[in-house]
Chains A and B, each alone.
Chain A
Amino acid sequence: MNFFTLLGKYILLMRRSFGRPLNHRYFLRQVINEISSIGMSSIGIVFIISAFMGAVLVIQAGYNMENPLIPAFTLGYGVRESIILEFSPTIVSLILAGKIGSSVASQIGTMRVTEQIDALEIMGVNSASFLILPKITAALFSFPFLIAISMMVGMGGGFAAAVIWDIASATDFIAGLHYYFVPFEIVYAMIKSLAFAFIIVTVSSFYGYYAQGGAEDVGRASTRAVVYSSIAILLTNLFLTKIILG
């Protein structure tokens, strides 16, 4: 299947996914369940990755900033910029593409090959909207929180590393974190996180929804979901950065 056929199928599926839910109370319950499986269950991995990456960033930046002409607060400033602009929204989203993408694609793919999606369609339920819209809503709701947590934990990890290994003093590091702070950078990071949330859930749902065959095909759909949503994240990151900051 060529790229344009695939894109056309994806757009048509998205059009169906935004159909009005049949039962709003049921939809709300699905969204809450999805927030739990997409958002809450990702807090642990986001926490661990962010803390360690923040610490590593500080060690690497400290190693490269031994020149006495560079002000001491630069370390905190550099770490903050890296975390807010790139590390938290993009790298964490790439990691979440692996975790959430494979889970969404295999869940929907299994429903496809076991005829559960056909059962929904025969009942008169718009299966695309029923299965995908709650996931999109939950991801759009959860990602900004996950990215905000990642930013705080990343900077916290960096602070801990700076103080424990005496790379910078606590005062200098905190001064760097405050130095020339542009609140729009947070807005930029949140715009990216919303775009990436949409990409991860919709690309993974697409591959799951059109899975065919058996267990092996579901596995293949799951792998494709992760690979293509990661590529889409990197491309979108480039374009959004050029549009917003370029």
Chain B
Amino acid sequence: MIEVRSINKAFEDKQVLFDININFEKGKKNLIIGQSGSGKTVLIKCMVGLLEPDSGSIFFDGRDFTHMDTPERKGVRQEIGMLFQGSALFDTMSVEENVLFPLQMFSNMTPAEQKERADFCIERVGLIDALNQLPSEISGGMQKRAAIARAIALNPKYLFCDEPNSGLDPKTGVVIDHLIAEITEEYQITTIINTHDMNSVIEHGDRISFINKGHLWWQGDKSEFLSTDNPELNNFIYATEILKRIHPKNL
């Protein structure tokens, strides 16, 4: 479980996050939604330590990540897997080398065991035929799958996904969503997904947090989501014509 407590963050004079308090539960897909520029990515970056919050704390299973020293943080970071918006695969390494990388750095496995584990993860995401290909030689969807394989290589306790299906066609986006959902349930990971994609929210949102203008505006699950009377959230959900048509008022 990850607990975010009273997080505030500003860049120079611009306040981006205001007193954010959220609990992200274990074994669930916790979605953070909101418009571009609402502060979702800043929140995720504060949670994984890429940005330092101005105040507040983040607890990973009771451990205060924000006030840890560097070696302790390294320990927690090895329990984190992250899927970046642009995949962030190392472009000079093949798919297999990318997945092997965290194992080479942090595991005590022999090279043969590392290879076995890497191949298992690659097979798990259905990329075994692309083992020796470079990231530039595979499609965007395949890159996302390779990044998922790398993220799960060290059996993480926490999986962060920053807009996992951005830039993908709807069908491939669904494949990626299902993969994340399966992995979350299979390994009982605390998964945090930052997304705009309404299909992901409706399909996989075990717990949804809506961030608006840097504030936590609404929290609930997918059963409450579509029938909310929160006007800002309604504006966000029903922004597109296709979703307007399924609004409870129009049905």
A and B, one complex? yes
Which B residues from 83 to 105 make CB contacts under 8 A with A? 84-86, 88-91, 101-102, 104-105
What is the total number of residues of chain A having a CB less than 8 Å from a CB of chain B? 15
Looking at the complex, which one of B84, B105, B160 makes contact with A115 (CB distance below 8 Å)?
B84
A151-B102 Cα distance, complex, nearest whole Å:
44
Contact A122 B48 (CB under 8 A): yes
Looking at the complex, which one of B50, B86, B91 makes contact with A122 (CB distance below 8 Å)?
B50
A245 located at the interface, meaning its Cβ lies under 8 Å from any Cβ of chain B in the complex: no
A110-B101 Cα distance, complex, nearest whole Å:
19
A41 located at the interface, meaning its Cβ lies under 8 Å from any Cβ of chain B in the complex: no
Nearest opposing residue in chain B for A26, CB measure: B104
Report which residue of A22, A110, A124 has the largest number of chain B beta carbons within 10 angstroms of its beta carbon. Answer: A124
Given A114-B88, A124-B74, A124-B77, A119 and B106 contact (CB-CB distance below 8 Å): no
Contact B78 A119 (CB under 8 A): no
Give B100-138 as 1s and 0s: 1 = Cβ < 8 Å from A's Cβ atoms: 011011100000000000000000000000000000000
Report the minimum CB–CB distance from A28 to chain B (whole Å).
13
A123-B89 Cα distance, complex, nearest whole Å:
13
Contact B78 A115 (CB under 8 A): no
A23-B102 Cα distance, complex, nearest whole Å:
11
A36 located at the interface, meaning its Cβ lies under 8 Å from any Cβ of chain B in the complex: no
B211 located at the interface, meaning its Cβ lies under 8 Å from any Cβ of chain A in the complex: no
A114-B82 Cα distance, complex, nearest whole Å:
14
A116 located at the interface, meaning its Cβ lies under 8 Å from any Cβ of chain B in the complex: yes
Contact A119 B105 (CB under 8 A): no
Contact A121 B106 (CB under 8 A): no
Contact A23 B105 (CB under 8 A): yes
Contact B106 A123 (CB under 8 A): yes
Contact A116 B91 (CB under 8 A): yes
Contact A116 B88 (CB under 8 A): yes
Looking at the complex, which one of A114, A118, A124, A125 makes contact with B50 (CB distance below 8 Å)?
A118
10 A-B residue pairs with Cβ-Cβ distance under 8 Å, sorted by A, are A114-B91, A115-B84, A115-B85, A115-B86, A118-B50, A121-B77, A122-B49, A123-B102, A123-B105, A124-B77
* 8 closest A-B pairs by CB: A124-B77, A115-B88, A119-B88, A124-B74, A115-B84, A122-B82, A124-B78, A22-B105
